[in-house]
A and B are shown apart, each in its own frame.
Chain A
Amino acid sequence: MDTDFYIPMRLDEVESPLQTEIQKTLGIDIETCMECGKCSGGCSNAHIFDFTPRKVIQLIRLGAEETLLTMDALWVCLSCQLCVDRCPSGVDIPRIMDYLREKAHREGYRPSRPAVALFYELMCSCVERRGRVSEAPLMLRFNILTRQYLKDLTLGIRMFLKGKLPLTAGKVKKMDEVRVLFASWKRRSVKRG
């Protein structure tokens, strides 16, 4: 965590370019947050978040970019939408979390939960190659790359025997239409990186 938090923060010196960025890029004005805590109160994973949704908004106000891009909450947020659905100001917290996660991933911050990031990356690369996701190969690759060779082995076998895990899936024919989207993503990542 930032050492800035261990000495009194000089509020008169606080700058938050991140807040402006979020306003400009996403059109979300976090000043509408009235700090009531309803978001955190209903957050599905509040009990395991290092920073609950209300705190995330406050951290943005305080310009704590480093904290936000390294926090664990980024990687265990479920995008369940309970926060934004109940927020009296309609602050789109899931969108902000996505934005922060995207930014952290793009700028090379090490995710606090590498397995989660890896899972997303594997799923995306599956789509990049085939246009669709095939669960069985995805699970196998994930297990191998996270060195959990025996994870869910019994479960996997049971599911396979019930025909729930076909080893191949359909493939998109016009793959160039899909590849171009990924190429564009890579360009975006390099440009800002």
Chain B
Amino acid sequence: MNEAMTGKEHTALVIGGGPAGIEAALKIARGGYRAVLVEKENEPGGIPLKLFSSFPRWENPSDRIGWMVNDLKKNKQIEISLETTVESAAGTDNGFNVTLKNTATGDARTLDVQAVVLATGFRLMDLSAYGEYGHRIYPGVLNSLEFEERLREWSRGLGKAPQAVALIQCVGSRDRSKGYPYCSKICCMYSAKQAGVVKDLFPEAKVYVFYIDCRAAGKGYEEFLREVIEKKHVRYVRGRPAKVLPEGGRLLVRAEDTLIGIPVEFAADVVVLAAAVVPHPETAALAKMFGASIDEYGFIDHDPRSHAKCADRVFFAGGCGFAVDTESALSQGAAAAAEVITLFNDNG
């Protein structure tokens, strides 16, 4: 806990301590104001803490987020409240009176804030509707976040070295039938990253990515993808797999190589499912609490005239608005902070 906060009188409540929230808090403080950052977990950092390597520069995500968290902790204009949730909010003349609850102790306290930044991030969808891939049924089938953990273990020499890894794109995304119709934006890139890491760790392993399209729309992204294919020798097969079959202790992936049009099979030790990005369930409740609207998937809707604003004195950034990579989350956090600073400046 920080000592008595310094900074000008206005305080923003930042809900969510991932990259978007952290960046928002840091920039709000930079603008001279105060921020209270609440995070439901027991450490700030969000998804980058769980990642092993990053695109497009193969950096360690924990490093960068670690520096940001250090800055956060040192900043006297920012109060960090971990294991904290927002229970309720009542409108005031110039903001909200919020009730915060410490989930570890059960203690509650109230706080007056003049702006709110929703930065509750995203998670991966539950894959029980995709029984054809057997997530949580066949051992060895992991979703992409679980696989990041496996990469970390492998990098430490733990666990069995794989002979073959299959990565399946678009599980739950681009699916009007039993998933979400949208594209989750980041999976083509992170799958390429994951595939590249496997090859770095186990050059002899066969690593296949089953894709429909390869979406590499970003600075350095296409080049990254080509590096993974041409330099690291990850194979790409165009065809959305239909099924994973456990066979002889391994996992058989069945698909069609649509570029030639022949049925293919691939025996893997690990199958990685790039699950669709969905908002955390708390986002809908928080949106309602602060008068923001959400779309049919639970992502926050933005104000027509401002991409960072979702209601009066309420802003948002990062994964709670839609699938986002770390760079974009940071940019959006800064954009939300700029809105908060402008608001506070205008209100004197």
A-side residues, CB < 8 A to B, are: 32, 34-43, 46-47, 52, 54-55, 82, 86-90
CB-CB under 8 A for A89 and B176, given A37-B255, A54-B258: yes
What residues of A have a CB within 8 angstroms of the CB of B255 in the complex?
Answer: 37-38, 41
- Inside 8 A of B174's CB, which chain A residues have their CB? 34, 36, 88
Docked CA distance A43–B255 (Å) = 9
- Interface of B, helix, strand, loop or mixed by DSSP: loop
Q: Which of B141-191 contact A (CB under 8 A)?
A: 170, 174-177, 179
Q: How far is the CA of A82 from the CA of B245 in the complex (A)?
A: 14
Q: Do B242 and A41 touch across chains, with their CB atoms under 8 A apart?
A: yes
What residues of chain A lie closer than 8 Å to B258, measured between beta carbons?
Answer: 35-37, 40, 54
Residues of B contacting A38 with CB < 8 Å?
239-242, 255
Contact check, A82 vs B212: say whether CB atoms are below 8 A apart.
no
Q: Is the CB of B263 within 8 A of A52?
A: yes
With contacts defined as CB atoms under 8 Å apart, how many contacts are there between chain A and chain B in the complex?
70
Confirm or deny: B243 has a beta carbon within 8 angstroms of a beta carbon on chain A: yes
Q: Mark B238-278, 1 if CB is under 8 A from A, else 0.
A: 11111100000000001110100101000000000000000
Q: A41-B240, A88-B174 are in contact. Are A36 and B212 (CB under 8 A)?
A: yes
| Contact present for A86 and B242 (CB under 8 Å) | yes
Q: List 11 A-B contacts (CB under 8 A).
A: A36-B170, A36-B239, A36-B258, A37-B258, A38-B239, A38-B240, A40-B258, A43-B242, A52-B256, A54-B258, A86-B242
Residues of B within 8 A of A47 (CB): 263
- Name the interface size band of chain B: 20 to 34
Q: Any chain A CB within 8 A of the CB of B132?
A: yes
Give B174's nearest chain A residue, CB to CB: A88
Residues B242 and A54 in contact, CB atoms below 8 Å apart: no
CB of B250 to closest CB in A, whole Å: 18
* CB–CB B179/A88 < 8 A: yes
B4 CB, nearest partner CB in chain A, Å:
55
Answer whether A41 and B256 are a contact pair too, CB < 8 Å, given A46-B263, A52-B263. yes
Question: Bound complex: CA of A96 vs CA of B241, how far in Å?
Answer: 22
A residues near B132, Cβ cutoff 8 Å: 42, 86
- Chain B CB within 10 Å, residue with most, of A37, A42, A87: A37
Complex CA distance for A87 and B178, rounded to whole angstroms: 9
Complex Cα gap A32–B239 (Å): 17
Contact B177 A41 (CB under 8 A): no
Give min CB distance, B16 to chain A, whole Å.
31
> In the complex the two chains form, is B261's CB within 8 Å of A52's CB?
yes
The chain A residue sitting closest to B258, CB to CB, is: A37
Asked whether, in the complex, the Cβ of A90 is within 8 Å of the Cβ of B177, the reply is yes
If the complex has contacts A34-B212, A46-B256, A46-B263, are A41 and B241 also in contact, measured as CB distance less than 8 A? yes
> What's the nearest-Cβ distance from chain B to residue A58, in Å?
9
Interfacial chain A residues near B256, Cβ < 8 Å? 37, 40-41, 46, 52, 54
B240–A90 contact, CB under 8 A? no
Q: A34-B212, A87-B177, A88-B175 are in contact. Are A40 and B263 (CB under 8 A)?
A: yes
Determine how close the nearest CB of chain A comes to the CB of B281; give it in whole angstroms.
24
CB distance from B188 to the nearest CB of A (A): 14
Selected from B177, B239, B241, B263, the residue in CB contact (under 8 A) with A89 is B177
CB of A175, distance to nearest CB on chain B (Å): 42
By a CB distance below 8 angstroms, the chain B residues around A89 are 176-177
Is the Cβ of A55 less than 8 Å from the Cβ of B261? yes
